Structure 1
Amino acid sequence: MQVWRDSSAVPAALRGAAVAIGNMDGVHLGHRALIARARQIAAAAGGASPGPAGVLTFEPHPRLLFQPDATPFLLSELSEKLALLAATGIDAAFVQSFDRELSLLPAEDFVAEILVRKFGVGHVVVGEDFHFGHKRGGDVALLRRLGAAAGFGVTTVAPVAALDGGVCSSSRVRALLGEGRPGEAAALLGRYWTLHGIVERGDQIGRQIGFPTANFRLGQVRHPARGIYAVEAQVDGHGPWHAGAANFGIRPTVADRGDLMEVHLLDFTGDLYGRRLAVRLIEFLRPEKKFDGLDALQAQIALDIRAVREILASRPAIPAAFG
Structure 2
Amino acid sequence: MIHTLTTYESTTTDPYENLAVEEYLTFHVKPGECILYLWQNTHTVVIGRNQNCWKECRVSELEADGGHLVRRLSGGGAVYHDQGNLNFTFCMRKEDVNVSRQLQVIIEAVGSFGLTAEKTGRNDVAINGQKFSGNAFFDSDGYYYHHGTLLLHVDTASMSRFLNPSKAKLQSKGVDSVRSRVVNLSSLCPDITVDTMKHAMFAAFSKVYGLPATPLCTEHLNLDTIQKGRERFASDHWKYGQKIPFTNRLEQRFSWGEVNLDLHVNEGQITEALLSSDSMEADWFSDIGTEFQGLPYRTDILCKALDRSLEQHLVPADIRADLCQMVQEQI
Same fold, TM-score > 0.5, yes or no: no
Specify the TM-score bucket, using the shorter chain as the normaliser: 0.3 to 0.5
> Structure 1 length normalisation: TM-score?
0.34
> Structure 2 length normalisation: TM-score?
0.33
